[in-house]
Chains A and B, each alone.
Chain A
């Protein structure tokens, strides 16, 4: 996934320097201990454990149905786990009601209060506090204006949500969540409803806000690009389980399972056989080390850009070129393994190899072997 796009020039959502910011000293570490959640008889989470450090920005990444949103809702208190524990700073969070938990929630659909102005939306969390803890009206207003400035929407305080663009609404939703000085910020597909350009801008903007305010932040996404670019650590989930937790580099460069390898970034998986420390494609030995992969059938995974091509040679994978397409800044080769139906894809720098055709061979520079399951 080399689509880490740089935004050029005058970034419309850069943060202002300085400016009065509210105090953010209450953010907590979060600990999830063997949380199980079943809806009726359908299991959604099978004993998930996860530790999140204070101030960390963590992405829950997975396909739909992987349980990532359920986990987020459990952290927020909107769902109750069937068993397991959730701790905020070592304190049992499951005993706290949603209002007591003091988490900032941002939804994909914004969930702004449509009958309130932008300013009223942002001040809502302070306005509804019990009388003894409620700031004065003037202070609520000042605070809301500060936050509006933080999210770069000064001047729009009297608008209604229906008068804002999607990106603006989501920034109001952020400001509203930040207003209550949340102990944890939880974002459910925060950029899912926005178009690609706004999404990239807001992604960078969120990173800056996070660096500035330092909230422990957990966000759910199915967009791996977003997760890898934004998060300190990525939690890859599948079918109610955590597959891998790691920094974006670890997740991308050292996937620990076939699922993570095929889910994160692009990859080809080729059925091979491991025998006596060697890797065999049918009856042909490949010039690859099997490492500690046990003997037996296995799957060879590699990324399209981690492959070198050459003329037919022993120890490489013999392929027949099926097609050559433009793919962003590169060219993509469609290849069929000689004598088999399997297809793989590899990327070449756009300038090279314009006339690749016929029989060639390819050799993965970087690869992983996983024993075939089942």
Chain B
């Protein structure tokens, strides 16, 4: 292509055949260096430090730190909370995006804004809200206590706080895509005789499956890593209500750095695995993902 266009213009002396759509070489190199330096300093270095610190005292102590009963309990709790919060938000996010993108109803913009609330509110407040509602001094506290139900300083509270904080992830992925796709596919399916349910499962859902998966992955990453809100409602009972991020904090505060970084490295590893899954899926299904964006 480019050899068809004479680039040998008078003012383009110096670097020959300079592309007209890019900056000069020194500018490009400078920009690339800035970007790489930034990534290294703020992302790669900390990640590297976590793993380095974790194994600094040797693999033996690393192993004993992560096989300790409290650590294992924290892992189990973290996985369990994610296993409840993620499906809950998958269903909620799908339902909300479906409603917002495909239907007109009063209060639609309010709902759309409400979905973002957990992003804009500090996680500590998200936690405090549940204490206020379900804690001993809270609105429903006395009632719950008299019926032997404990929410705050117990697993249900942790699950609730996590659901609240990870609320927007799926919906935020789906709403723009569903809005862009419009309603014509659904109208076509209906006119072809499909019921509402069949239309949803055979047309709407497959059209957004990749965005949905992406939302779920992000939601899961956040559910496992959430600290602030969970910290408020957990009560920090070792071996019972400590999730992995909380366990890391406790160990760190006890100057048990090796153990703290060991658990932290596991958490970081979970995050990395999540990202690897995402990249692998994107790589494996490039064509389908591209096709689902537009025809």
Residues of A with Cβ closer than 8 Å to B?
A: 76-78, 98-99, 101-105, 107, 109-115, 124-125, 128-129, 160-162, 169, 173, 176-177, 179-180
User: Interface stretch among B13-21, B37-45, B186-194?
Assistant: B186-194
User: Quick one: closest A residue to B191, CB to CB?
Assistant: A105
**Contacts A114-B295, A128-B202, A162-B295: A109 and B184 contacting too (C-beta < 8 A)?**
yes
Alpha-carbon distance A156/B207, docked complex (angstroms): 22
Contacts of B206 in A (CB 8 A): 113, 115
Beyond the given pairs A99-B194, A114-B295, A124-B192, 20 more chain A to chain B contacts, judged by CB atoms under 8 angstroms and listed by A's residue number, are: A98-B187, A98-B190, A98-B191, A99-B195, A105-B191, A105-B192, A107-B184, A107-B187, A111-B184, A111-B187, A113-B188, A114-B291, A124-B189, A128-B194, A162-B295, A169-B295, A173-B188, A176-B192, A177-B192, A180-B192
**Contacts A125-B192, A128-B195, A180-B192: A114 and B187 contacting too (C-beta < 8 A)?**
no
Alpha-carbon distance A113/B290, docked complex (angstroms): 14
Quick check: B203 and A113 within 8 Å, CB to CB?
A: yes
Alpha-carbon distance A350/B151, docked complex (angstroms): 90
Best-surrounded residue of B189, B193, B198, B206 (most CB of chain A within 10 A): B193
Quick check: A162 and B191 within 8 Å, CB to CB?
A: no
Alpha-carbon distance A110/B184, docked complex (angstroms): 9
Pick the residue among A103, A113, A114, A115 that contacts B191 (CB under 8 A).
A103
The 0/1 profile, CB within 8 Å of A marked 1, for residues 191-218 of chain B is: 1111100100011001101000000000
Quick check: A180 and B193 within 8 Å, CB to CB?
A: yes
Quick check: B193 and A125 within 8 Å, CB to CB?
A: yes
Quick check: A111 and B185 within 8 Å, CB to CB?
A: yes
The 0/1 profile, CB within 8 Å of A marked 1, for residues 93-118 of chain B is: 00000000000000000000000000
Quick check: B191 and A104 within 8 Å, CB to CB?
A: yes
**10 shortest A-B CB distances, which residue pairs?**
A125-B192, A128-B194, A111-B184, A105-B191, A111-B188, A98-B190, A115-B206, A162-B291, A99-B193, A128-B198
Contacts of A129 in B (CB 8 A): 193
Alpha-carbon distance A263/B187, docked complex (angstroms): 31
Alpha-carbon distance A106/B215, docked complex (angstroms): 33
- B165 CB, nearest partner CB in chain A, Å: 32
Quick check: A160 and B193 within 8 Å, CB to CB?
A: no
17 contacts between A and B (CB under 8 A): A76-B191, A99-B190, A99-B191, A104-B191, A111-B185, A112-B295, A113-B188, A124-B189, A128-B195, A128-B202, A160-B291, A162-B290, A162-B295, A176-B188, A177-B191, A179-B192, A180-B192
Report if B292 contacts A (CB, 8 A).
Answer: yes
User: Quick one: closest B residue to A176, CB to CB?
Assistant: B192
Pick the residue among B188, B194, B288, B290 that contacts A107 (CB under 8 A).
B188
Quick check: B188 and A115 within 8 Å, CB to CB?
A: no
Quick check: B194 and A110 within 8 Å, CB to CB?
A: no
Best-surrounded residue of A77, A101, A104, A107 (most CB of chain B within 10 A): A107
Pick the residue among B185, B192, B290, B291 that contacts A128 (CB under 8 A).
B192
Quick check: A115 and B198 within 8 Å, CB to CB?
A: no
Alpha-carbon distance A134/B34, docked complex (angstroms): 62
Best-surrounded residue of B185, B195, B288, B295 (most CB of chain A within 10 A): B295
Contacts of B184 in A (CB 8 A): 107, 109, 111
- B235 CB, nearest partner CB in chain A, Å: 47
Quick check: B288 and A115 within 8 Å, CB to CB?
A: yes
Best-surrounded residue of A101, A113, A177 (most CB of chain B within 10 A): A113
- A179 CB, nearest partner CB in chain B, Å: 8
Quick check: A114 and B207 within 8 Å, CB to CB?
A: yes
User: Quick one: closest B residue to A97, CB to CB?
Assistant: B190
Contacts of B288 in A (CB 8 A): 115
Contacts of B209 in A (CB 8 A): 115
Quick check: B194 and A124 within 8 Å, CB to CB?
A: yes
Contacts of A110 in B (CB 8 A): 295
Contacts of B203 in A (CB 8 A): 113
Contacts of A104 in B (CB 8 A): 191
Segment 237-273 of B: residues with Cβ below 8 Å from A: none
Contacts of A161 in B (CB 8 A): 291, 295
- A169 CB, nearest partner CB in chain B, Å: 7
User: Quick one: closest A residue to B181, CB to CB?
Assistant: A114
User: Quick one: closest A residue to B193, CB to CB?
Assistant: A99
Contacts of A107 in B (CB 8 A): 184, 187-188
Alpha-carbon distance A62/B206, docked complex (angstroms): 36
Contacts of B185 in A (CB 8 A): 111, 113
User: Quick one: closest B residue to A98, CB to CB?
Assistant: B190
User: Quick one: closest B residue to A163, CB to CB?
Assistant: B291
Alpha-carbon distance A110/B295, docked complex (angstroms): 10
- B101 CB, nearest partner CB in chain A, Å: 16
Best-surrounded residue of A77, A114, A162, A169 (most CB of chain B within 10 A): A114
Alpha-carbon distance A179/B203, docked complex (angstroms): 18
Best-surrounded residue of B191, B203, B290 (most CB of chain A within 10 A): B191
User: Quick one: closest A residue to B186, CB to CB?
Assistant: A111
Alpha-carbon distance A124/B199, docked complex (angstroms): 11
User: Quick one: closest A residue to B205, CB to CB?
Assistant: A115
Pick the residue among B187, B192, B194, B292 that contacts A115 (CB under 8 A).
B292
Alpha-carbon distance A128/B189, docked complex (angstroms): 9
Pick the residue among A77, A114, A179 that contacts B292 (CB under 8 A).
A114
